[in-house]
Structure 1
């Protein structure tokens, strides 16, 4: 069980601040690093993989510093966003070369296992120059997994993948997280993170904007109403009743049926709704939050 700890880390390039006083801990399981392009995600992954020194602060893996520590590369598998491939090699040759760099006794067998894991066996003897973007992503993944690392860092790994490849990689990341590995992947695509990682670290403009379960993050945003759709046995009666409660900012009947509710106090609303429904004899058929998706969280944080 490995843990990456980032403590008060900043990184700047001359007068450009890429990461600004970020602190976070990445533990076992799958964590999504979410943010728009240019938010500092790639810089953070470079810091976590030991390829970049922090300007201030510390980055450690299980208590050991990552910068200028060659031993940590035995524990980390990295899938960078930028292309770092040799087009004249076959896919298998590339993965075997990485296995040999790690001084694995059975480099060929280790490469075969990693290539099979990412479903690239049929294409392994083709040169990388002939690979599509999605195939290049998968062979990079194989090279990162060849030494069976406990920590896996992936920078925008789904770029260029077709739907089948994306589903396979999502399943693979979930499996590795369930095995106890520490898996972190970055993305600016909200749906990708939401489907794979419940634990989310959000970075916006180089700053750490939020951390935790994305539903919990959303509920902490008390200055923005929580929105719900209710389906009940008597929409009109419950809507008028809810409008009298201090936790409700607004309620309106939907043309297609149901009630749209804006709640300013999630805790109070979650207590008041069943109580008021019971007191007025209105059966609740469905209560659905409409803005607990990562898209809602992300939009709020970017606009803050």
Structure 2
């Protein structure tokens, strides 16, 4: 069993800060690295895998520094988001080459086992150029697994996969986590993380926003104030009714738009149609104003 520890890790490119003072521990089991696009997830994974040096701070695996420590790389398997591959070779040749680079005792057996694990045995003799996006993802997974690493780092691994391929990979990650391996995968899609990860780390704009099990993170997200814009037959009368009922924290009626911020989503959703009916107001449109993942993550950062 292996544990990755990041201690006050930052990485910048010139004046651009990609990762800012992140401290986290990733242990055995499946951990989801969740955050919007551009949050710094890929940079963080590259530093965890030893492919990028932190500008400040340290990344260690079981107490040993990852950067410029080649012996550590035998314990780490990395599946990058980028699709740069050797298109002119077959899947078999690509995985076998990785097995030989690791100087495994039996590279042929290791390559065969890795391809079987990801369900690519039937297509192993086709050139990589002929593979779909999902098939390329699976071959990258095989190259990361061929040396039987204790740590697996996956950057947006579900991109381009069809539903059957996604279910296969989800099952594989579950099995790897159950074996005691340390598996971390990044995603900007909440549902992907919910399906697999027992622990979640949230990254926003390079900062570590939240950490814990999924239920805790989900609770933080659902308990945040919810904002709505409402259009009705009488916005002024409806605004007065909402204020009197107390189901919203703030009610703003400017520029012909009724904007409401409610702390309890369930209470507000039930109260709004009742108030409209009681005061003879017809609801024309009710739209959430802040339901994007970016707004959810921004709320977590601000806590």
TM-score (norm 1): 0.76
- For the Cα contact (< 8 Å) 1:218–1:297, is it kept in 2? no
- 1:302 is aligned, of 284, 292, 298, to 298
For the aligned residue pairs, the C-alpha RMSD in angstroms reads 2.6
Give the match for residue 109 of structure 1.
Answer: 109
Cα offsets for 1:141-198 (capped at 9, x unmatched): 0010001101000001011111000000000001100110000000111111111113
- For the Cα contact (< 8 Å) 2:134–2:161, is it kept in 1? yes
State how many pairs are aligned: 249
Distance 1:222 1:135, change over 3 A: closer
> Stretches of 4+ moved more than 2 A in 1?
217-226, 248-256, 295-304
The separation in 1 between residues aligned to 2:179 and 2:198, in whole angstroms, is 16
Unpaired segments ≥5 residues, structure 1 = 227-242, 257-294
Give the match for residue 180 of structure 2.
Answer: 180
The separation in 1 between residues aligned to 2:222 and 2:292, in whole angstroms, is 14
TM-score (norm 2): 0.76
The separation in 2 between residues aligned to 1:26 and 1:197, in whole angstroms, is 12
Report the secondary structure of 2:23's partner residue.
strand
1:86 aligns with 2:86: yes
Cα offsets for 1:231-272 (capped at 9, x unmatched): xxxxxxxxxxxx9xxxx964664899xxxxxxxxxxxxxxxx
Give the match for residue 18 of structure 2.
Answer: 18
The separation in 1 between residues aligned to 2:222 and 2:105, in whole angstroms, is 56
The separation in 2 between residues aligned to 1:222 and 1:116, in whole angstroms, is 41
- For the Cα contact (< 8 Å) 1:50–1:66, is it kept in 2? yes
Cα offsets for 1:54-100 (capped at 9, x unmatched): 00001000000000000011100000111232111100000000000
